[in-house]
Amino acid sequence: MGADLCATPASAAGGIRPQVGSTDRHPRFAFPAPCRYDRNGPFAALFSPRGPLDRMKTLLVTGGAGFIGGNFVLGTLARGGWRIVNLDALTYAGNRDTLADVEGRDDYAFVHGDIGDAALVKRLFAEHAPDAIVNFAAESHVDRSIDGPAAFVQTNVVGTLNLLECALAYWRALPLERQDGFRFLHVSTDEVYGSLGPVGRFSEESPYQPNSPYSASKAASDHLVRAFHHTYGLPVLTTNCSNNYGPFQFPEKLIPLMIQKALAGEPLPVYGDGRNVRDWLYVGDHCAAIRRVLEIGRVGEVYNVGGDAERENIHVVKTICALLDERRPLADGRRRESLITYVKDRPGHDRRYAIDASKIKRDLGWRQTESFESGLARTVDWYLDHQDWVGRVLDGSYRMERLGV
C-alpha cells in the first residue's frame, strides 16, 4: 500500500491546523508535503465525488465489546446515523455476546484486534475512512492494576499513543472539508483527579493527582490526547466520568459483584469501613453524554460527566441487598445484609469522588435521566433476567475473588 498512514509525529512533523471554524490560512499552518491530500494517493477512492458525500458517517469505536463501549455501540446503532466499526481485543472483560443483537447488520462491523497493533489500526483507517473515533479501549480495574501495572501502561498509555499517531497521520491526509469535521474522542475517568475530602467536587480545572496504577495510566493517556491537540492540532475531545453501573458490566466491579454474591448467598466483602464515597452514573446516561460531546462538543475541551449521586459503598451494598430480598428472597429467610463482611482496605483506596458536571449541562444541554435508585433497580432487574449472560462471561478466568492485595 502506498504511503505509511501511521507515520509517527516525528516523521510527519510540521505546523498545526487552525481550530475548527478558523479561516486563518497563514503559511505557518501549512502541512508538510508527505501529509497533504493526494488525489492519486491511497485515500483517493474514499474522497471521490461519489465517496463521502453520499455515504453514512463512519465511527471507529475502540473497546466497543466492553461494558461502557458495548452500551455505547448498542445505543448509537439504535439511534441511527452512524456506521460503526468496533475494534476490541476481547480481553477477559470484553465479550461479543454483549453485541449479539447487532451482529450481521449492514451498519456494524466487528474487528478483533489490539489498539497497540499499528498495522491493524492503519488498515482500518484506510479501509473504513472514519469520520470520528471514540476510544473506550482500556484496562480499568484498580485492583488488577495493583497486581500488574505493566498491562495498564501498555494498553492505556502505549495503546492510546498508537491510536493518536495513526489518527494524526490519517487526519492530515484528509481533504480540508473532512478535516474540519473529524473528531478523536477519548473516554476517561474521574480517578485521574485523585481523592476528595468531605466537601467539594472535581471540575475540569481540578489538578491531576492519580493514586493508583490504573488512574496514573489514564492520566498519562489524557495528557497525550491534550498534547496531540496543542502540538499538532488534532481535533480531540475528552470526557472524564464518575463510576458507571448498568447492564453488561463484568462482575468484578462493585455493583455486579455484590449482585452475584448476594444471589448466591455468599459473603459480601466491603473494603475498610465501607464509608468510601463514589458518584454513580447510569451507563445509558453516560453514553448519551458521550454522543452529545461527539456531536456538538467544542474541539480541545474536556467535559466531566457525573450522576449527581454520591453514595457510600456500604449504602450501595445495603440497597442491593434490599432490592434482592424483595425480588428473590433467600430460601432460608435470611436478610442479605447479614452477609456483609468488612475486609482489609484496598492499598491507596481513594476516599471520595464527586463530579461537577455543570459544564456539560450548561454548554451542551445534557441531563441524566436515571436517579441512582431507579438506575440501580433497573440494573438489578437486568442481572436477574440475564444470568445466562453472566454465566457465559464467567468462563473460568475470573471467580469473583479479591484482587490487588
Instruction: Return the CATH number at 40.
Output: 3.40.50.720
Q: Which three cell numbers stand for residue 70?
A: 458495548
- Flag whether pLDDT at 225 surpasses 50: yes
What are 39-57's pLDDT values in tens digits? Answer: 333 333 333 333 333 458 9
Tell me the pairing of strands 108-112 and 82-88. parallel
Q: Are 92 and 117 in contact (CB under 8 A)?
A: no
Distance, CA of 226 to CA of 202 (rounded, Å) = 18
Number of other residues whose CB lies within 10 A of the CB of residue 354? 20
**Does the annotation count 92 as an active-site position?**
no
Q: Which three cell numbers stand for residue 177?
A: 472539508
List CB contacts of 93: < 8 A, sequence separation 6 or more: 66, 67, 140, 141, 250, 252
Average pLDDT, the chain: 86
What are 161-189's pLDDT values in tens digits? Answer: 999 999 999 999 999 999 999 999 999 99
What are 355-376's pLDDT values in tens digits? Answer: 999 999 999 999 999 999 999 9
Residue 48 pLDDT: 33
Residue 78 domain flag: yes
Active-site option among 214, 232, 282, 353: 214
Beta partners for residue 237, in sequence order: 185
Q: Are 331 and 263 in contact (CB under 8 A)?
A: no
Residue 39 domain flag: yes
Number of other residues whose CB lies within 10 A of the CB of residue 217? 28
* Residue % of the chain over a pLDDT of 70: 84
Measured in residues, the chain has a length of 405
Q: Which three cell numbers stand for residue 315?
A: 449504602
Distance, CA of 112 to CA of 340 (rounded, Å) = 39
**Alpha-carbon dihedral 303, 248, 257, 187, rounded to 10 degrees:** -20
Residue 55 pLDDT: 58
Q: Which of 47-51, 57-61, 226-230, 267-271 has the lowest mean pLDDT?
A: 47-51
Distance, CA of 184 to CA of 100 (rounded, Å) = 27
Residue 334 domain flag: no
Distance, CA of 405 to CA of 403 (rounded, Å) = 6
Residue 128 domain flag: yes
Residue 359 domain flag: yes
Distance, CA of 198 to CA of 195 (rounded, Å) = 10
Q: How many domains does the chain have?
A: 1
Residue 299 domain flag: yes
What are 318-365's pLDDT values in tens digits? Answer: 999 999 999 999 999 999 999 999 999 888 788 899 999 999 999 999
- Flag whether pLDDT at 21 surpasses 70: no
pTM: 0.83
- Flag whether pLDDT at 240 surpasses 70: yes
**Does the annotation count 326 as an active-site position?**
no
Residue 112 domain boundaries = 31-245+280-309+350-370
Residue 267 domain flag: no
* Residue % of the chain over a pLDDT of 90: 74
Residue type, 54: D
Active-site option among 139, 165, 190, 252: 190
Closest CA to 370 of 276, 275, 306, 291: 306
**Does the annotation count 214 as an active-site position?**
yes
Residue 319 domain flag: no
Active-site option among 88, 143, 191, 370: 191
H, E, C per residue of the chain: CCCCCCCCCCCCCCCCCCCCCCCCCCHHHCCCHHHCCCCCCCCHHHHCCCCHHHCCEEEEEECCCCHHHHHHHHHHHHHCCEEEEEEECCCCCCCHHHHCCCCCCCCEEEEECCCCCHHHHHHHHHHHCCCEEEECCCCCCHHHHHHCHHHHHHHHHHHHHHHHHHHHHHHHHCCHHHHCCCEEEEEEEHHHHCCCCCCCCECCCCCCCCCCHHHHHHHHHHHHHHHHHHHHCCCEEEEEECEEECCCCCCCCHHHHHHHHHHHCCCEEEECCCCCEEEEEEHHHHHHHHHHHHHHCCCCCEEEECCCCEEEHHHHHHHHHHHHHHHCCCCCCCCHHHHEEEECCCCCCCCECCECCHHHHHHHCCCCCCCHHHHHHHHHHHHHHCHHHHHHHCCCCCCCCCCCC
Q: How far is the CA of 143 from the CAs of 320, 325, 400, in angstroms? A: 22, 29, 12
Q: Are 353 and 243 in contact (CB under 8 A)?
A: yes
What are 247-257's pLDDT values in tens digits? Answer: 999 998 899 99
Q: How far is the CA of 308 from the CAs of 79, 251, 288, in angstroms? A: 26, 24, 16
Number of other residues whose CB lies within 10 A of the CB of residue 233? 23
